[in-house]
Amino acid sequence: MVEVKKILFPVDFFENSDKILPYVKLMAEKLGAKIELLHVVRGSGEYAGFELGVAWYSNLKKDLMGGAEKAMNRFVDEHMSDIEDVKTSVEVGDTVEEILNYANKNGIDMIIMGTHGRKGLEQIMFGSVASGVVRGASCPVLTVNPYKVTT
């Protein structure tokens, strides 16, 4: 028997997360599942080639983590006050790897995410993050194209 008790919703705090959230809530309600939110702050590898030193990234990482945690709290307060027991996490590293690691470590049964993140170059592709998660996940991944969702 298939059971979905934990749904992971990776969020980037852009309006696309707002568009996908109703699907996450609907699936959680229908399946009786808990929702876990994850935001990934890009790791130091994203800044390769910049000769800024270790101390610079350490300070940036601290600021980015603090800002991400505040944004996560705001997202939950604004959009999820009607949901009990929402678990949140902010991780640092490669977005695809961190989503997959989180899902594996936390026994996630389903991932729901957007097919596209930010606009621009990422919009052109099937979202490299979504594609990587779909290919690497050991659980089902439901993808939602936020540009086709009518709100």
Tens digits of residue pLDDT in 64-73: 889 999 999 9
Instruction: Determine the Cα–Cα distance for residues 145 and 54; give it in Å rounded to an integer.
Output: 38
Q: What is the mean pLDDT of residues 1-17?
A: 92
pLDDT of 62 strictly over 50? yes
Set out the domains of the chain in order of their start, with CATH numbers: 6-144 (3.40.50.620)
DSSP letters, 76-135, are HHHH-TTSSS-EEEEEES-HHHHHHHHHHHTT-SEEEEES--SSTHHHHTTTHHHHHHHH
pLDDT digits 0-9 by tens, 95-143:
999 999 999 999 999 999 998 755 554 444 446 889 999 999 999 999 9
pLDDT of 150 strictly over 80? no
Chain-wide mean pLDDT for the chain? 86
Percent of the chain with pLDDT over 90: 60
Q: What predicted TM-score, i.e. pTM, was given to this entire model? A: 0.85
* pLDDT the model gives residue 121: 47
* pLDDT the model gives residue 57: 60
